[in-house]
């Protein structure tokens, strides 16, 4: 049997978010796996944005995972996210990534009303849990900005398979990775529209260093049935405006299949401490 490592989570609201004021460092130090902040961003404004993102007529969604229909998560903000995709399993060059990131403002224009600056709202949300460290969007050496966030839509029937987010070796991280404390990439996500059912975030007590974590015969994919049998797990559901910060580079996790008639719509980014641990950088 595998070690029953417990998934450690903490839930706060905006009123008591000071109780998790240094949660990003706690995540990096392996003292916490998931932080949930209920009502972190204004629900009415996010719901209004989601209403405009639910229809099939929109043409601005990018689909870098279309080759795998089950995991065809639609993305707005870039067509070259800072993750592996089925279109680019080993990532893209930094220049290609930055060129796509440069179109972010155009790609997301009109998604949110003038009363909500999504970029600034995410930076402020991270800052509430940064241990008073400044939080900023990552910049390339030539001054170009990394994508500040992406909007993601999962239509009914879609899911995200079990994985870790360990991306430092991807080509687009060649400048960013050396700046960061590589103990952890954390994923910060806000829900715009929850699905009618399904779509839960499921986090497992399995880390990248867990010995003999069961895998499929190909030696690459995790054996989900065996993982669920042997290890601790927690499932989390979210409403519009709720935020979570997940130790995505450490804990194995997935998003369950979306069911019902509504899509699951979120926005988010990666965050990490810098090498001296004096700042937090954000990118997507």
How many separate domains does the chain show? 1
Residue 253, strand partner residues: 163, 203
Between the alpha carbon of residue 138 and those of residues 51, 77, 120, 149, the distances in Å are 30, 16, 14, 11
The answer to whether residue 260 sits within a structural domain is: yes
The answer to whether residue 119 sits within a structural domain is: yes
Does the structure show a pLDDT above 90 at 3?
Answer: no
* Range scoring the smallest mean pLDDT among 31-40, 88-97, 214-223, 267-276: 214-223
Residue 213, strand partner residues: none
Q: Which two tokens stand for residue 192?
A: 């715009």
pLDDT band at 239 (very low <50, low <70, confident <90, very high): very high
Does the structure show a pLDDT above 90 at 138?
Answer: yes
pLDDT, residue 220, reads 79
User: Would you say 193 and 268 are in contact if contact means Cβ atoms under 8 Å apart?
Assistant: no
pLDDT, residue 59, reads 61
Question: Domain range spanning residue 24?
Answer: 9-54+66-283
From the number of C-beta atoms within 10 Å of its C-beta (0-12, 13-18, 19+), residue 223 rates as middle
Does the structure show a pLDDT above 70 at 28?
Answer: yes
Instruction: Please give the average per-residue pLDDT across 128-138, as a whole number.
Output: 98
pLDDT band at 137 (very low <50, low <70, confident <90, very high): very high
Between the alpha carbon of residue 255 and those of residues 24, 131, 167, 198, 273, the distances in Å are 22, 29, 19, 9, 25
* Range scoring the smallest mean pLDDT among 4-8, 150-154, 169-173: 4-8
Give the global pTM. Answer: 0.95
Q: Return the H-helix or E-strand segment holding 191.
A: strand 186-193
Does the structure show a pLDDT above 50 at 170?
Answer: yes
Looking up residue 270, the CATH number of its domain turns out to be 2.60.120.620
- Residues 172, 143: Cα–Cα separation, whole Å: 15
pLDDT, mean over the chain: 95
The answer to whether residue 3 sits within a structural domain is: no
Does the structure show a pLDDT above 50 at 2?
Answer: no
pLDDT, residue 230, reads 93
Does the structure show a pLDDT above 90 at 114?
Answer: no
pLDDT band at 1 (very low <50, low <70, confident <90, very high): very low
The answer to whether residue 1 sits within a structural domain is: no
pLDDT, residue 56, reads 62
pLDDT band at 58 (very low <50, low <70, confident <90, very high): low
According to DSSP, residue 16 is labeled G
Instruction: Please give the average per-residue pLDDT across 191-215, as a whole number.
Output: 95
The answer to whether residue 26 sits within a structural domain is: yes
Higher-scoring residue by pLDDT: 147, 109: 147
The answer to whether residue 177 sits within a structural domain is: yes
* Beta strands, E only, 88-144: 135-137
According to DSSP, residue 273 is labeled E
Between strands 243-246 and 160-163, the pairing is unpaired
The answer to whether residue 60 sits within a structural domain is: no
Instruction: Please give the average per-residue pLDDT across 175-182, as a whole number.
Output: 97
Give Cα 81 distance to the centre of its chain: 11
Q: Which residues of 249-272 are buried (b: 16+ CB within 10 A; e: fewer)?
A: bbbbbbbbbbeeebbbbbbbbbbb
pLDDT band at 208 (very low <50, low <70, confident <90, very high): confident
The answer to whether residue 271 sits within a structural domain is: yes
Question: Nearest 10 degrees: CA dihedral of 243, 247, 248, 253?
Answer: -80
């Amino acid at each position: 049997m595998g070690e029953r490592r417990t998934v450690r989570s903490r839930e706060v609201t905006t009123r008591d978010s000071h109780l998790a004021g240094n949660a990003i460092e706690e995540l990096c130090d392996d003292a916490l796996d998931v932080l949930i902040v209920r009502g972190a961003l204004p629900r009415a404004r996010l719901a209004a944005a989601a209403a405009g993102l639910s229809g099939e007529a929109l043409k601005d969604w990018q689909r870098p995972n279309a080759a795998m229909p089950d995991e065809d998560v639609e993305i707005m903000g870039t067509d070259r996210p800072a993750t592996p995709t089925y279109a680019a399993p080993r990532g893209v060059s930094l220049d290609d990534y930055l060129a796509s990131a440069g179109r972010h403002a155009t790609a997301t224009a009109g998604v949110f009303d003038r009363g909500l600056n999504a970029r600034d709202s995410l930076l402020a949300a991270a800052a509430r849990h940064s241990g008073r460290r400044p939080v900023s969007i990552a910049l390339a050496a030539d001054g170009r900005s990394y994508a500040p966030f992406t909007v993601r839509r999962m239509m009914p029937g879609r899911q995200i398979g079990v994985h870790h987010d360990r991306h430092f070796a991807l080509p687009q991280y060649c400048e960013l990775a050396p700046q960061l404390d590589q103990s952890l990439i954390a994923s910060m996500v806000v829900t715009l529209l929850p699905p009618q059912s399904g779509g839960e975030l499921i986090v497992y007590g399995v880390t990248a260093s867990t010995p003999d974590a069961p895998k499929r015969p190909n030696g690459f994919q995790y054996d989900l049935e065996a993982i669920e049998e042997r290890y601790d797990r927690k499932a989390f559901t979210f409403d519009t405006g709720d935020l979570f910060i997940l130790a995505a580079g450490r804990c194995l996790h997935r998003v369950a299949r979306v069911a019902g008639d509504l899509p699951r719509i979120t926005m988010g980014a990666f965050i990490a401490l810098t090498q001296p641990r004096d700042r937090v950088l954000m990118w997507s």
